[in-house]
């Protein structure tokens, strides 16, 4: 074998051992050798290296069957950290996440929807410093930052191509934030970040084929296929908001007619409600529904129909193992779940229905922050 191949294999073995300890801890060296098929000597060498680098520690002794004491291994959550950032129209959220995926600290501040790009970046930088300081995380343990935001994101070049919600166009977000904070920065669409969290510790755990649908001020979806984010040719795969349901329907701000978003986004619900009543927020519509006002029932009834149709259509195209429904509409108006489920039952094609699990996200408002931090860890952590 070439020397380079040997180095590569060494690295892969080390990654594998660490991954096994992370997944199955507490675990003994012996068991790792069994699972991997590597020799006890190799395992001992790798574990020693990982121990020196701070990734692994020894935990309690347990008595194995034959009376010998076995030392068990565990990973150290505090060996490194990444920071997750969620940017939205009117809120900025930042969380520090440790190596084993725990949010050790999280804070949010409001954002003015009309606020300038530089101003938002300043807020992010300050909040990040504050958070790091108050939690006493040493800067050298932070390997990078992940940012999730709505819009079309060129994740490879770190550029926000367009974000209607933030009113940004062609901004070099990753580079600018890197300059301000000193950390390496990875950016991506918020739902793509969120599904990473679902895939690692949420409802799509251990799922090879999963879809996450987001229903709120924007409408979109993200897809895990064969265990990886599926992006399509220009990172736009999953843009269900602009699938057309009715060629004679509502005009959409994208210039087409009958896009799904024009039936189920918060903006659509609000603007329809205003045809009836002088309403200022989506919560008022939900409250009107709760107090039995027929116009609100009509509008939200139609919303649930189109959400169920969207789910049905996604299932026909992707045939996933699990579909996770998330977003502020579902969070703030959980009553809609029952209507969605009833209609899903009617609208989903039988051969697909048999196989799929339809579930709701329970990562709630921390999903994007967690996913962004985990994705930063995935892409930035390089074992020496």
Contacts by 114-122 with C-beta closer than 8 Å and gap 24+?
114/167, 117/168, 117/171, 120/87, 120/92, 120/166, 121/176, 121/177, 121/180, 122/180
Q: What is the DSSP string of 191-206?
A: HHHHHHHHHHHSTTTT
Residue 329 neighbours by CB distance under 10 Å: 25
Is residue 230 close enough to count as binding a copy of itself by CB under 8 A? yes
Contact set for a copy of itself, span 234-293 (CB under 8 A): 234-240, 242-247, 254-256
Contact pick of 119, 317, 332, 362 for a copy of itself (by CB under 8 A)? 317
Smallest separation, CB 199 to a copy of itself (Å)? 16
Sheet holding 91-98, edge to edge: 103-110, 91-98, 81-88, 142-149, 185-189
Closest of 157, 196, 195 to residue 178, by C-alpha: 157
Backbone region of residue 107 per phi and psi (left: phi > 0; alpha: psi in -120 to 50; beta: other values): beta
Between 81 and 306, CB nearer to a copy of itself: 306
How far is the C-alpha of 51 from the C-alpha of 42, rounded, in Å?
A: 14
Stretch that binds a copy of itself, among 134-142, 269-277, 317-325, 327-335 (CB under 8 A): 317-325
How far is the C-alpha of 318 from the C-alpha of 230, rounded, in Å?
A: 11
Is residue 162 close enough to count as binding a copy of itself by CB under 8 A? yes
Q: What letter would DSSP give residue 308?
A: H
Between 331 and 378, CB nearer to a copy of itself: 378
Contacts by 290-296 with C-beta closer than 8 Å and gap 24+?
290/335
Smallest separation, CB 173 to a copy of itself (Å)? 17
Smallest separation, CB 89 to a copy of itself (Å)? 20
Smallest separation, CB 307 to a copy of itself (Å)? 11
Between 206 and 350, CB nearer to a copy of itself: 350
Is residue 159 close enough to count as binding a copy of itself by CB under 8 A? no
Is residue 1 close enough to count as binding a copy of itself by CB under 8 A? yes
Is residue 218 close enough to count as binding a copy of itself by CB under 8 A? no
The dihedral through the CA atoms of 77, 323, 207, 209 has a sign that is negative
Smallest separation, CB 90 to a copy of itself (Å)? 24
Smallest separation, CB 349 to a copy of itself (Å)? 4
Between 60 and 246, CB nearer to a copy of itself: 246
Residue with tokens 């789910």: 311
Between 145 and 188, CB nearer to a copy of itself: 188
Q: Which chain residues interact with a copy of itself by CB under 8 A?
A: 1, 152, 161-162, 209, 221, 225-226, 230-240, 242-247, 254-256, 305-306, 309, 312-314, 316-321, 346-347, 349-352, 354-356
């Amino acid at each position: 074998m070439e020397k380079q191949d040997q180095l590569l294999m060494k690295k892969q073995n080390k990654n594998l051992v660490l991954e096994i300890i992370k997944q199955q801890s507490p675990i003994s060296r012996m068991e790792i050798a069994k699972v991997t098929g590597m020799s006890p000597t190799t395992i001992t060498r790798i574990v020693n290296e990982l121990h020196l680098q701070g990734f692994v520690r020894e935990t309690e002794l347990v008595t194995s069957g034959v009376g010998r004491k076995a030392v068990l291994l565990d990973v150290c959550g505090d060996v490194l950290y990444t920071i997750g950032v969620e940017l939205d129209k009117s809120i900025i959220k930042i969380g520090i996440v440790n190596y084993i995926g725990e949010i050790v600290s999280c804070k949010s501040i409001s954002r003015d929807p009309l606020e300038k790009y530089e101003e938002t970046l300043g807020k992010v930088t300050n909040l990040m410093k504050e958070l790091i300081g108050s939690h006493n995380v040493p800067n050298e343990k932070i390997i990078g930052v992940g940012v999730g935001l709505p819009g079309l994101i060129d994740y490879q070049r770190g550029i926000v191509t367009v974000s209607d919600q933030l009113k940004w166009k062609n901004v070099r977000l990753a580079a600018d934030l890197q300059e301000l904070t000193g950390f390496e920065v990875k950016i991506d669409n918020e739902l793509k970040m969120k599904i990473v969290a679902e895939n690692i510790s949420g409802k799509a755990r251990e799922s090879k084929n999963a879809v996450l649908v987001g229903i709120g001020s924007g409408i979109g979806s993200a897809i895990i296929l064969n265990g990886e984010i599926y992006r399509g040719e220009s990172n736009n795969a999953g843009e269900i908001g602009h699938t057309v349901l009715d060629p004679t329907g509502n005009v959409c701000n994208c210039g087409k007619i009958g896009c799904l978003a024009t039936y189920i986004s918060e903006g659509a619900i609000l603007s329809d409600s205003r045809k009836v009543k002088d309403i200022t927020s989506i919560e008022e519509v939900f409250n009107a529904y709760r107090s039995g006002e027929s116009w609100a029932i009509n509008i939200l009834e139609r919303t649930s129909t189109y959400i169920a149709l969207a789910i049905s259509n996604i299932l026909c195209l992707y045939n996933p193992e699990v579909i996770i429904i998330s977003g502020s509409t579902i969070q703030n108006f959980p009553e809609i779940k029952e209507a969605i489920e009833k209609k899903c039952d009617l609208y989903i094609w039988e051969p697909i229905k048999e196989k799929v699990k339809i579930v709701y996200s329970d990562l709630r408002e921390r999903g994007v922050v967690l996913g962004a931090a985990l994705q930063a860890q995935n892409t930035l952590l390089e074992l020496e």
